[in-house]
Structure 1
């Protein structure tokens, strides 16, 4: 495993030796720094935005939580602890899959839940995390559950759980 630390020194994470991380400034002069994690074949797997200032807005969805776990190295300034999650949301006639860190409220399951928000509060603005899925992400929920048994899923989950704020 290797460790990546954002240039401001606040957020770091561990990732597989064969993967790489590249950074970029956000578009249109927005604040913060972006990091994209890529596997050994050059596929972009994960987006992280550090020092972001945007918020979240959404509507009601039906959410099924496939997996969730504590992220012991992260805590919001108000003491809220972000949670790792992998979910599917249904809205109208569509479905969307999300995996990353979120406020615990984005992991409420059932009808009428507020749509996923991957922005968690930090002392330097906010952290946004998003696993980059193809479109469509999965053919069905059974395929999503099967992906959870793969090395890629385990590695992405371990990376997200390893996030720390200093």
Structure 2
């Protein structure tokens, strides 16, 4: 018997550019992006599960100025094409679940990213900034880990991360990310 698919809701940013689907038992709240005076241009949508735990964040209209990177050793755990998103240069971003070894610790990222983040081995750390027609779009699964300079890993080891990939939560988050559309 096939697993029961959850009922879905749809969310669209007020500017109409980015939309996605998410489980009906989850919720979405929006917040004004940081550091802007006047009318909000960057808006962040934060998706929470039924318990109120924040799971995913995506922004629309960010200042698309770029990312900084440091040395990392990357392993790709999962990847898929995301046909609903296309950067202004025509690049189709990819869904990626990656682990990067940075300063002796594993750091996990799950998001839509530029294909340059597919390269494995010794690389510059990942970036989830996508350059879209209305500015930048940032997105990420919110793992229980603070980012730089001190971070604890989201999983005790890579086997735990791979085991999480077989869970309902992973499937729902991946489906949400894969449903992202830009128009």
1:132 equivalent in structure 2: 142
1:165 aligns to 2:175 (yes or no): no
2:53 equivalent in structure 1: 43
List alignment gaps of at least 5 residues for structure 2. Answer: 1-7, 146-152
Number of residue pairs matched? Answer: 165
**Structure 1 segment 58-97 matched on structure 2, within 5 A:** 58-97=69-108
The alignment's C-alpha RMSD in Å is 1.1
CA separation in 2, counterparts of 1:45 and 1:91?
Answer: 23
| 3-state SS of paired residue (2:35) | helix
1:24 aligns to 2:35 (yes or no): no
CA separation in 1, counterparts of 2:129 and 2:136?
Answer: 6
Deviation at 1:28, TM superposition (A): 2.4
CA separation in 1, counterparts of 2:59 and 2:121?
Answer: 28
1:120 equivalent in structure 2: 130
| 3-state SS of paired residue (1:155) | helix
List alignment gaps of at least 5 residues for structure 1. Answer: none
Give TM-score, length-normalised by structure 1: 0.96
Cα-to-partner distance string for 1:104-156 (whole Å, 9 max, x where unaligned): 00121112x12110011100011100101013300000000000000000000
Deviation at 1:27, TM superposition (A): 2.2
1:152 aligns to 2:169 (yes or no): yes
Higher strand share: 1
CA separation in 2, counterparts of 1:149 and 1:12?
Answer: 26
Larger radius of gyration: 2
Give TM-score, length-normalised by structure 2: 0.87
| 3-state SS of paired residue (1:130) | strand
CA separation in 2, counterparts of 1:124 and 1:27?
Answer: 17
1:103 equivalent in structure 2: 114
CA separation in 2, counterparts of 1:92 and 1:154?
Answer: 30
